[in-house]
Amino acid sequence: MLNEQKTPEAQDNASLDLNEGINRATRLVQQLLTLARLDPDASKKPMSTIHLDALIASIRDDMAPIAEQKDIIITASASPAQIDGMEDAIRLMITNLTDNAIRYTDAGGTVRVFAGQEGHHPCYFVEDNGIGIPKNEQRRIFERFYRVDKSHSRQTGGTGLGLSIVKHGAALHKAKINLDSEPGKGTKMELMF
């Protein structure tokens, strides 16, 4: 399509579309590879002590530029909490949950991340004031390739794999996922280890 465009403006638009398509395909392949790495044999991989409070500070800093592009305020608070686990998998789970919160929150919104202890259990949660998830779709959001709002997912580059990766990572670490969401009011996702 790029080669068929006659005007520089049309070529620029086709080039942007091409780059967006490449980025979506790259993200899809990366997520499929990650999902494959979280297979049942992954539990045999070495575990290490992960300080959730330090990890979310790092992830918040990584995600801040994406939030700033949408004029979203992202805050992080933490108290000391640690778990034994696969650091790459834990980082990816928390990054995916935080990324989803940013993607599905409108410009000018807020995203809050927290790590700490709830009773005797280390936990992480992300809370947003985004579009929310209808009750009848909440059971399906962890299925591979499932997207609640397909038109919004296309705009944000969603593949429908992020929460499936979270589900597999949580199972690997024997973590429970708690979801509280209401359309138009936002979503809170919690990992309880």
Closest CA to 128 of 170, 47, 73: 73
Instruction: Enter the tokens of residue 121.
Output: 């259990």
- State the pLDDT at residue 152: 44
Q: Which residues of the chain have pLDDT under 50?
A: 150-155
Judged by phi (left if over 0) then psi (alpha if -120 to 50, else beta), residue 117 lies in: beta
Cα–Cα dist 95/90, whole Å: 8
The predicted pLDDT at position 2 comes to 72
Partnered with residue 123 across adjacent β-strands are: 116, 192
pLDDT of residue 115: 93
What pLDDT, on the 0 to 100 scale, is given for residue 150? 47
Q: What is the distance between the alpha carbons of residues 74 and 46, in angstroms, rounded to a whole number?
A: 32
Looking at residue 144, its pLDDT comes to: 74
pTM above 0.85, yes or no: no
pLDDT at 70: 93
Residue 151: per-residue pLDDT: 45
